[in-house]
Amino acid sequence: MLATQRPNAVPPATKPKKEDTVPPIIEEVVKRSDGNRSHKYSKIRLLGKGGFATCYEYHSLETGEAFAAKVIDKATLIKDKTKAKLTTEIKIHSSLDHKNIVRFHRYFEDNQFVYILLEVCKCRSLMELMRNMTQLREPEAAFIMYQILVAVKHMHDCMIIHRDLKLGNLFLTERMEVKIGDFGLAAQLDYRNQRKQTLCGTPNYIAPEILRSTGHSYEVDVWSIGVIFYTLLIGTPPFETSSVKETYKNIRDNRYEFPKESRVSETAKDLIKRILVSDPTKRPTVPEILQHKFFTIHFNDISKCPRGLQDYASLC
Ligand code: ADP
């Protein structure tokens, strides 16, 4: 489909499949030296379901403030690995404070669930945006990519690797601000040159060095940024096939192409090609990507939300 053909219905919020046992009112008890304080929140609607958590919009009964509550059933926290994942997610996400990272407010628990209160991103994620818009024009992609890049730069400056950057983990507010979320696979490095060994990531976005199990670092996020950039401009991920095995083979062989009919500029192609290189040491860093001509050309588009995205936001 060409970039000009855009259906304009925003997909409906995910429907809960099984019975919803998450309480309509939840209570946070804050222990203080002058006695306990209780804060209550009322459930408004389901926002979405992930592999690990279900997310609802809750409003504070005192202030009316809206939160996205990521709810994790304690019954799923039996394995040490799953518990460790939750602890890591809370520790890393709560340490980050940046306008392009989903704001972490607080977390608490009751007998059955753990609740993580986050900033609500009303326009869902880039996955829904791309289902709706199919392909982005270059000024739109520049506006989105710039926000992702400054957030990833901040994470890398804090020695944090996200390791699962993909459309579904890039949330959007009504002002089309991009906010990186889901730190469930993130890693905090102890020293700048440390290499991590654990396999993680999502098939389409996984970096070749993770498949080679040779150790990985910040460059895996840069690779995913390249995959995201290509996907925004072309409409499908570069290495995608119908089987995970074939996708991994394409990633290992660095086999991808720009469809002949695509109208992507040589400047954008040049940046993608520089990012999607197999050898992680040859990939640009995030500050180097920000210096690329693609972002200087689109300097004005970065500072103001392009019209097409504004139209999408008005439907959220
Ligand atoms: P998991 O850790 O299980 O992958 P996610 O963090 O992906 O869970 O959240 C599950 C779903 O909830 C997401 O796909 C999205 O639809 C929704 N969601 C998560 N965080 C937010 C948020 N801050 N604002 C709005 N919706 C959210």
The CA 171 to ligand 1 mean position distance, Å, reads: 8
The CA 33 to ligand 1 mean position distance, Å, reads: 34
pLDDT of residue 24: 96
pTM of the model: 0.90
User: 52 CB under 6 A from ligand 1?
Assistant: yes
* Mean pLDDT for the stretch of residues 159-182: 96
pLDDT of residue 15: 54
Asked if pLDDT for residue 174 goes beyond 70, the answer is yes
User: 272 CB under 6 A from ligand 1?
Assistant: no
User: 44 CB under 6 A from ligand 1?
Assistant: no
> Whose Cα sits closest to atom 25 in ligand 1?
121
pLDDT of residue 3: 39
- Tokens at 50, concatenated: 């992930």
Asked if pLDDT for residue 1 goes beyond 50, the answer is no
User: 51 CB under 6 A from ligand 1?
Assistant: yes
* Mean pLDDT for the stretch of residues 157-161: 97
> Whose Cα sits closest to atom 1 in ligand 1?
50
For 88, what's the count of Cα atoms within 13 Å in the CB-facing half-sphere? 18
Q: Which residue has the higher pLDDT, 200 or 228?
A: 228
Reported confidence tier of residue 193, pLDDT bands at 50, 70, 90: confident
Catalytic (active site) residue 182: no
Asked if pLDDT for residue 7 goes beyond 70, the answer is no
Among 144-148, 151-155, 194-198, 238-242, the least confident range: 194-198
User: 182 CB under 6 A from ligand 1?
Assistant: yes
Which of 45-54, 66-75, 188-197 has the highest average model confidence (pLDDT)? 66-75
Asked if pLDDT for residue 173 goes beyond 50, the answer is yes
**Ranges assigned E (strand) in the chain:** 25-30, 37-49, 54-60, 66-73, 104-109, 113-118, 160-161, 170-172, 178-180, 187-188
The CA 54 to ligand 1 mean position distance, Å, reads: 7
> Whose Cα sits closest to atom 19 in ligand 1?
55
- Tokens at 90, concatenated: 């809370």
Test site for ligand 1: of 57, 70, 101, 177, most ligand atoms within 8 A of the Cβ: 70
Among 81-85, 141-145, 166-170, 219-223, the least confident range: 81-85
How many residues does this entry show for the chain?
Answer: 316
- ipTM, 2 dp: 0.96
User: 12 CB under 6 A from ligand 1?
Assistant: no
Residue 17 CB contacts under 8 Å (≥ 6 apart), including other chains: none
User: 23 CB under 6 A from ligand 1?
Assistant: no
pLDDT of residue 20: 81
Rounded-to-integer distance, Cα 110 and Cα 249, Å: 45
Test site for ligand 1: of 14, 47, 49, 96, most ligand atoms within 8 A of the Cβ: 47
* Mean pLDDT for the stretch of residues 118-125: 96
Asked if pLDDT for residue 2 goes beyond 50, the answer is no
User: 123 CB under 6 A from ligand 1?
Assistant: no
pLDDT of residue 301: 84
Rounded-to-integer distance, Cα 144 and Cα 175, Å: 12
Reported confidence tier of residue 17, pLDDT bands at 50, 70, 90: low
Mean pLDDT of the chain: 92
**Ranges assigned E (strand) in 79-207:** 104-109, 113-118, 160-161, 170-172, 178-180, 187-188
User: DSSP assignment, residue 51?
Assistant: S
161 SS3 class: strand
Q: Choose the catalytic residue: 20, 157, 164, 253.
A: 164
pLDDT of residue 64: 97
* Mean pLDDT for the stretch of residues 154-159: 98
94 close to 141: Cβ distance less than 8 angstroms: no
pLDDT of residue 14: 56
* Mean pLDDT for the stretch of residues 272-281: 97
The CA 21 to ligand 1 mean position distance, Å, reads: 18
Phi-psi region of 279 (alpha: psi -120 to 50; beta: other; left: phi over 0): beta
Q: Residue 70, annotated ligand binder?
A: yes
> Whose Cα sits closest to atom 13 in ligand 1?
48
167 close to 126: Cβ distance less than 8 angstroms: yes
pLDDT of residue 12: 53
